[in-house]
Every structure is written in structure tokens, then in C-alpha cells.
Amino acid sequence: MDKITHEVRLTNWTKLIQECLSSGLSKKEWCSQNQIDEKQFYYWQRRVREEIYAEQVSAAPVELSTSFVEVPSLSKVEEPKSTNVSAQIHVNGCTIEIADSASDEFLHRLLGALSYVQ
């Protein structure tokens, strides 16, 4: 089959398949009502899907590149300024110290996040 004939048939079958899908009928019922051989319908459905897939693959970017960004390291980690610790939470071997200056919003978010810890 030449390319033009294939494209015409593909276009026609694409329309028929869309009609079938939007009809609300099963494919078997729709084929029967429209005097279409069920095997032929499934053959062209596969061809249409393959064509759509091939178009999507060819439209996808072919080359992926990886790049790296240098992250400067800290030469010295500063100790936090001393604050009054109001509470400590121990979770999975970690300790979270909460300063008395922590806002209500911070505590709400912290407790929300901790609810996901297992």
C-alpha cells in the first residue's frame, strides 16, 4: 500500500474509532451496528495507536544532557547562638530542640511534618 493510501485509510479509521469510543456502545456492538468486521476494527485501532505513539516518540527530545553545578563548601559550621530550649522532641534517634522564641506557625508546621515520620 502506498503512503498516500495508508494516510487516507489511517485518517478514515481514526474518525471511525473516535465515533465508536464516543458512542457509549461496546466495540462489538458498535461494529455490528456499523457493519464493520470486528477483527478489522481492532487491526486498525492498533495501527492508529502505533502511528500516534511513533509521532510522540519522534517529537520527544532526542538528546538529554547532564550538567553539574559546583556547590561551595562551608569551611566552618557556625554554632547557633544560645537560646532557651523550651522543649525537646525525640524521633527515630534524632533530637529536635525547640526554642522558646519559636512561633505558633513554626510549631504547627513542625508538628504537621512530624506526623509523616514513621
- Choose among 51, 57, 45, 54: nearest CA to 15: 45
**Distance between CA 56 and CA 46 in Å, rounded?**
15
pTM metric for this prediction: 0.48
**Residue 103: all three cell numbers together:** 512561633
**Residue 40: all three cell numbers together:** 478489522
Write down the pLDDT at residue 117: 72
pLDDT above 90 covers a percentage of the chain that reads: 35
Write down the pLDDT at residue 111: 83
Least confident span in 21-30, 34-43, 81-90 = 81-90
